[in-house]
A and B are shown apart, each in its own frame.
Chain A
Amino acid sequence: MIARITPPAWTRWVLPGIAAAILLGYPLVFGTVYTNIFIHFAIFAVFAASLNMLVSYTGLLSFGHALFFGGGAYATALALENIPGMGLFPAIFTGGLAGAAFALIVSPLLNRVRDTAFALLTLALGQLAYMACIKLRDITHGEDGVGGFPIPDLSIPGVVSVSMVPAQNFYYLAIVILGICLLLMWFLTKTPFGSIMIGIRDNPQRVDFLGFNIPLTKCLIFTLSGFFAGIAGSVYALFNNLVTPDGVFHIMTSFTPIMMVYVGGIGTFAGPIAGSGLMTIIEEIATRYTTQLVLFNGILLVLVVMFFRTGFVGLYLLLKQKLFEKESSR
């Protein structure tokens, strides 16, 4: 094999550096409206990436991921409403824990089924959560949802205290938390545990015969996925200062990340992030000039399923290969 020319070590930091600079400067340049759009994108990028842990890495299609997202959102909202003096980070962590707890509770059920039955069971569980949220009026305030709860300041006692109400301040909190979530999920795919996940996707029988306890492994995958979905839901609750059954437990909340995974590119880590970006942009444009958002989303999904099975990331890789690597590949 020909030795590759390795660029100097500092070049590794050029792209992340540029990305960090853009992220830092973004709210200063683009103002409140676009800052909010970006936060929305980041929340759904993490939500879709948490679903992607199941869809792309473990081979399980969940139609009820809103259960964990909504669980996290409600946990944070209710904690802030009912517990005086609840801190910002404990509130977010509570959301993550709630998502993880819901996932842990349903995992013995989910472990019993695969394929279509798995998809339908998750759908049923998601709908169950939606109905329970509406009916449990004493806790969740039914269809009115939980709103107007206090948003705690980001404070290190005696040092600094920053209000999280202005969009720009909240932006920095959101991208740091969500960025850490994405990094953790990415890292997870590189660990031995990530290899086992991919093994379960490709050939569960062999994984069993290699000596791995599949039900227990899946249980941990569900719990981790639920945790990250819960964090996304929690940031959503803080961002909107309102959670309703229709907002976080509705079946569309489960479908949106599925679309993002498919549009962005199934089987890749970047897919759901790209999908979230693309769909956020389409939503913005479509709702600004027309009233037909659902039509545009529908057309997009049909196009992806019929012509670009590998989604946006697949298309990008294909173009890159066609445009830049033609000579070297021959």
Chain B
Amino acid sequence: MTGILETRDLCHDFNGLKVLTHIQFSVQPGERHAIIGPNGAGKTTFFNLVTGVYTPASGRILFKDVDVTKAKPYRLTRMGLGRSFQITSIFQRQTPFQNIRLAILSKNRIRFNLFVRVDRMNAINEQTNEILQEIQLADEAHLPTSTLSYGKQRSLDLGMALATAPDLLLFDEPTAGMSRDESHSAVELIRKLTEGKTMVIVEHDMDVVFSLADRITVLHRGEILATGTPYEIQENDAVKKAYLGESEV
């Protein structure tokens, strides 16, 4: 059985400093997979390798059974991979509507259209409004994005990843920097939006992880310490010792 996303013997280093060693990772279609681990465990590096920001030092990455080890981000997006960022990555100087519309244009494979006014493309604008409804930004659709609250900007970031209709969603700490309340509603939003979708999430907040994920992978010093259901991970001795035991549980 092969997963929608697989890595085989994935290794990476920054100028000799080993960040990831021999990562064997697999996500099955429909799974909600969380990657946890202490700071510096290599979680974000792993995401950057998988999404084509970096090219791995060695090993292979397979997405939908296609070797994408050296694929650029735009190729992966076109193949059906969506990503949100740890540091909110949106178009601050434009409206949420314009932000989402760009994603919708990409989803409809409109890339070199020089002949139609974009505000007259009704189908595009309708799809944009649908996404804005889903991420609960319809009321703020035409305000400057920079005036939105942090939580709403994070929602917009998620919305852009969703709007390209990906088959696999990668969320890099979607609740980073949020207050308890904001974080709670963000989790609800993610749960609703990713209903029936395949998702990989990197997260620090254990409440978020245990409420969203069916499977958890623990990264520690660039290696996979354990993979299993939330219950298995909670009971795993090596994990307790290396990670959970130090702080909570």
Give me the interface of A with B, judged by CB distance under 8 Å: 187-188, 190-196, 198-199, 202-203, 205-214, 217, 220
Contacts and interface: CB of A to CB of B under 8 A. Distances in A.
Counting chain A CB atoms within 10 Å of each CB, which of B90, B107, B114, B124 scores highest? B114
A199 B78 CA distance: 17
Interface string B103-144: 101110011111111110100100000000000000000000
A192 B105 contact: yes
A53 B166 CA distance: 32
Counting chain A CB atoms within 10 Å of each CB, which of B73, B107, B117 scores highest? B73
Given A191-B115, A195-B98, A213 B89 contact: no
B2 interface: no
B101 interface: yes
19 contacts: A188-B114, A190-B119, A191-B117, A193-B112, A193-B114, A194-B118, A195-B98, A195-B118, A196-B105, A198-B91, A199-B91, A199-B102, A203-B89, A203-B92, A208-B73, A208-B74, A210-B74, A211-B77, A211-B107
Interface string B47-86: 0000100000000000000000000111001100001000
A102 B47 CA distance: 39
Which 3 A/B pairs are nearest by Cβ-Cβ distance? A211-B77, A211-B106, A192-B113
Interface residues of B, number: 35
A317 to B, nearest CB: 16
Nearest to A205: B89
Main secondary structure of the interface of A (DSSP, over half): helix
B94 interface: yes
Contacts of A217: 111-112
A191 B103 contact: no
B91 A203 contact: yes
Contacts of A198: 91, 94
Given A195-B105, A196-B105, A196-B111, A206 B118 contact: no
Counting chain B CB atoms within 10 Å of each CB, which of A191, A214, A217 scores highest? A191
Nearest to A210: B106
B7 interface: no
Contacts of A212: 74, 106, 111
A57 to B, nearest CB: 12
Nearest to B93: A202
Contacts of B78: 211
Nearest to A214: B74
Given A199-B91, A202-B94, A203-B90, A208 B72 contact: yes
Given A191-B113, A210-B164, A196 B74 contact: no
Contacts of B105: 192, 195-196
Contact of B102 (A196, A205, A220): A196
Contacts of B124: 192
B160 interface: yes
Counting chain B CB atoms within 10 Å of each CB, which of A190, A195, A205 scores highest? A195
Contacts of B92: 202-203
A210 B77 contact: yes
Nearest to B116: A191
B160 A210 contact: yes
Contacts of B102: 195-196, 199, 207, 210
B91 A192 contact: no
B73 A190 contact: no
A193 B118 CA distance: 9
B91 A209 contact: no
A190 B74 contact: no
Counting chain B CB atoms within 10 Å of each CB, which of A192, A207, A213, A217 scores highest? A192
A120 B18 CA distance: 36
A199 B107 CA distance: 15
Nearest to B109: A211
